[in-house]
Amino acid sequence: MVSFLSLIPAFTVSVLVCSGAVVARGDVLELGDADFDYLAAEHETMLVKFYAPWCGHCKKLAPDFETAASRLKGTVPLAKVDCTASPDTCGRFGVTGYPTLKIFRNGEDSSSYDGPRSADGIVHYMKKQAGPNSVTLRSEADAEAFVNHFDASVTDQLPSYRSPLRLSRSVLLFRPPRLSSKFEESVLRFTETVTTHTLRRFIRDNIFGMCPHLTNENRDKLKGQDLLTAYYDLDYLRNPKGSNYWRNRVMKVGYQFASQGLSFAVANRRDFVDELEEEFGLGASDGGDMPFVTIRTQQGFKYTMREEFTRDGKSLERFLEDYFAGRLKRYIKSEPIPEKNKGPVKVVVAESFEEIVNDPEKDVLIEFYAPWCGHCKSLEPKYKELAEQLYSDPNIVIAKMDATANDVPQGFDVQGFPTIYFARADKKDQPKRYEGAREVKDFIKYLKREASHIPVVSGVREDL
């Protein structure tokens, strides 16, 4: 690691940071329509969870949210709003799915929370949100400790006027020493004209480097790109040398493909066991002691490397050659195609989506649901009645898909349940989200307006 003070003999450094309610149980504040505005305004920074009691994801998040609230007590308050009891507040802040997490500053909706949802991740993320915009480093010891941090560091040099070098002001980005590599520079100097826009772009483009350590804290930022990830027993605290052994091999191969638009990362497989199983069908034992590799694109396409990762990197090289040549088969999470599917509401799974929903001869109304969703259960009898009334119409299909057990195709944005889309026969590339009321008569009125053919309701053709 190059000594920071070898670059400047005398300096000042500032960090550019990127990055009375009722308490029923524990330390999470409970807010509602009656008190949200004036209680939220009492806090400079606050994280609010908007939820529904029946929501499975909300129940899963609850213990981590409570633990984080206890650890952040006195630093950043955490609050929750039951949207079934306080619909006005949730409506004002555009909550459409659960759980929705938002950061508020002095009572104003500041931004959506895009950090991890583990207790450790929430604590780490919100401490940064509540921290100072910059700190001053006043000694060599301060500087060395700062640039040798676990994460990347960004500094603004302000040399002393007594400095014999009389250096001009400049910004440096220090990559974490644990991730140093011969494939990229450890220190980058910002050379453009200093503006907010150019600085943000410089940090955004360089903060993670060629092959960062993917964690629960940075996952959302890294996954907004076409990303290859190698998962193995990575542990930079206890075994940094062993952790970099496989990372170096990923970088060596990845360096050959760096110009083709694919990003690379390494991760501890134990941190992502649930995601790997749910999203890629990979168990904890897959790969053995060797890394296993996945690719997820911005479009949501997923690929897994089935050949064992070899120490010379050749298997990874072949995998990438096949990926860029378009020879890989996408991995799709799907329930089995039903053997019998003669009911009024057609059951769709990921493997049958193309055949049923994208059938160019059919108009299709499809509900994306979750088995635990209370609103979905309330809709079920009405949706079934709609399907029964349209059952004799050969041009319209009423369908449903469990979006928790199947991959939702691109073009269908499902953030909450139930979400309903209409895919017209002659416009399959332009599915329309249904935003109307959810009574049978409302669906029929919508289909009479949007369908490519006049609907046949209960065996009787309805005029427009």
- Which residues have a catalytic role annotated? 55, 58, 373, 376
Label the pairing between strands 108-112 and 136-137: unpaired
Strand partners, 310: none
Give the burial class of 322: count Cβ atoms within 10 A of its Cβ; 0-12 exposed, 13-18 middle, 19 or more buried: middle
Q: How far apart are CA 384 and CA 365, in angstroms?
A: 12
Helix (H) or strand (E) holding 400: strand 396-402
**What angle separates helix 240-254 from helix 314-324, to the nearest 10 degrees?**
40
Question: What H or E segment, with its residue span, contains residue 36?
Answer: helix 36-40
Amino acid, res. 441: K
Alpha helical stretches, state H, 72-161: 87-92, 119-130, 140-147
Q: In angstroms, what CA-CA distances link 78 with 16, 20, 120, 209, 421?
A: 26, 13, 14, 33, 35
What b/e sequence results for 218-229 when a residue is b if at least 16 CB atoms lie within 10 Å of its CB, and e otherwise?
bbebbeeebbbb
> Which residues, at least 6 apart from 205, have a Cβ–Cβ distance to it below 8 Å?
none
